[in-house]
Structure 1
Amino acid sequence: MKIEQVALITYTIRDFIQTPEDFRASMKKIADIGYKAVQISGMGHDVMPAEEIAAVCAENGLTICATHEPSGMILDEPEKVVERLKKLGTQYTAYPFPRDVDFTDAESRNKLIQQLDKAGAVLREAGLVLTYHNHANEFYKWDGKPALQHIAEQTSAENLHFEPDTYWVQLGGGNVVEWCKMLKGRLPLLHLKDVGVREGNTPIMHEIGYGNLDFKPIIAAAEESGCEWFIVEQDSCPGDPFDSLKMSFDYIKANLVS
């Protein structure tokens, strides 16, 4: 993994990107930390035109490596997703969360899988890539396999790739290294998020290197599977999220990049 492949998802700083002025200031802070790429997420489409987002990122030397787009838009209006990604100048987006999907119900989960495959085909035909971002609920099992495995097996490898999240794979009971291997050839994006435990026996999201995940074998497995972007995410931070993002970046730079 090269330092140029390390990105962050703007969902971590979502409270600081809700106006054009705040977005500009935040992108400068991110660039000053040392990040060279961002995944756009956590801001409504009405905050700034896509072309303006792309211009601000370019001014700060930040590549837009991917986005998260609304779940409903991806499934029901993939053509709009294509239009937005073209304006942002990025190849990848991720289906962020299976809203209104019940993995215990065969009809509900099968509908999602079919819709993902169809939406992915629309993006593929436009030269773009749809990925799937997991949480812990994708590790609900039926027929002896977690939902995430069914999604992978029942969609075309050409139409749907993946953006596994290290924290949620671990929390769901999966093995992060093995999942990176299993998704070989369909793993352009990886969310880096560390796992710890707070007093009271509940999990907590940590800055990279400050929790309990062993990232060296995770990174190695992801690289072997063709990962292009390693994206830092921390849904909740103990203080200023920019401080947490700097802690993660500094740890990665000192310990994980080659």
Structure 2
Amino acid sequence: MKISQVAIQLYTLRDFCKTAPEFAAAMKKVREIGYTAVQISGVGPIPETELVAMCKAEGLTICATHEPGVKILDETESVIARLAALGTKLTAYPFPAGIDFDNPEHVNTLIKKLDIAGAKFRAAGMKLGYHNHAHEFYRPAGGKTFLERIYDETSPENIVAELDVFWVQRGGGDVVEWVKRVKGRTPFIHLKDFKVNPSGEANFCEVGSGTLDFKRIIAEAEAGGCEWFIVEQDTCPGDPFVSIKQSFDYIKANLVS
């Protein structure tokens, strides 16, 4: 992994990206820390042309986005147009809102619609990924987990993986084994660390300050052709810019080639 492949997921900085002036100031800080790429997510209603201009002004590449799941599935062409305007070819379905994992019709319909939408992205020269949380590791009695079904029942050409390593761990999965499992269909991955507090609750933390074995995770992701290693921290203990700098500095000192 090269340092130029390390990006920041802007959902981490969502409270500082609500308006165009705030976004511009945040991008300046991001670049000063050392990041050269961002994933657009959680930002305010700012026109694509402005987002592109503000990122370009700081020398930042827009490597990917997250888009609303309903739009991805039901207004696919509009999302494709947005990605084209942003100059990126990667997005991910972020969250299976409203899905009852005990309802076969819900599950089957979502998987089919993901595959159909993914085919449209592929035809446009883009890629649609699936971003997991912990609940995709729910296993109905005698069945596969939902995440297993997604990757088993969609075409690798249509649906790629945007594994979130924290949520894999939180869901009870083996992170390294899951990175191996989706080898060849992982153009991007979310890096966030995992630790347990004295009460036994799982907490987000800066990369390198938790329990995940990032050297093995990144080695396997690289072997699988991963292009973007995207730092994300859903919640931070204080200033998120301090947290994303801590993660970046750790990665630069310990994980890049």
> Shorter chain as normaliser: what TM range?
over 0.9
- 1:64-106: CA deviations, max 9, x gaps? 0000000110010000000000000001000000011111110
Specify the SS of the correspondent of 2:243.
Answer: helix
Aligned amino acid, residue 32 of structure 2? D
Identity of aligned residues (%): 59
Say if 2:207 and 2:246, in contact at 8 Å, map to a contact too: yes
Deviation at 1:144, TM superposition (A): 3.6
1: distance between equivalents of 2:184 and 2:201?
34
CA–CA distance in 2 between the matches of 1:108 and 1:181?
28
After superposition, what is the alpha-carbon deviation per residue over 1:175-223, rounded to whole angstroms, capped at 9, x for unaligned?
A: 1111111101110010001000112110100000001111000000101
Aligned to 1:36: 36
Instruction: Identify the residue that residue 242 of structure 1 maps to in structure 2.
Output: 241
Q: Map 1:116-135; keep pairs closer than 5 Å.
A: 116-135=114-133
CA distance in 2, matches of 1:161, 1:51: 27
Query: 1:232 corresponds to which residue?
Result: 231
Normalising to structure 2: TM-score of the pair?
0.98
* Equivalent-residue separation in structure 1 for 2:246 and 2:43 (angstroms): 23
Within-5 A mapping of 1:1-258: 1-44=1-44, 47-142=45-140, 143-258=142-257
1:135-155 Cα deviation digits (max 9, x unpaired): 001001134421111000111
SS at match of 2:203: strand
Q: SS at 1:164's partner residue?
A: strand
* Residue identity opposite 2:17 in structure 1: I
- Helix, strand or coil at the partner of 2:204: strand
How far 1:107 sits from its partner (Å)?
0.4
Deviation at 1:248, TM superposition (A): 0.1
Contact 2:118 2:127 in 1 (8 A): yes
Q: Give the AA of the match of 1:193.
A: K
TM-score, structure 1 normalization: 0.98
Q: What is the RMSD computed on CA atoms of the aligned residues?
A: 0.8
**Structure 2 gaps, min length 5:** none
Residue 115 of structure 1 aligns to a residue whose secondary structure is: helix
Aligned length: 256
The amino acid across from 1:61 in the alignment is: G
Equivalent residue letter for 1:128: M
Listed as ranges, the gaps of 5+ residues in structure 1 are: none
**Code of the aligned partner of 2:58:** N
Cα separation, 2, equivalents of 1:198 and 1:145 = 30
- How big is the shift at 1:125? 0.7
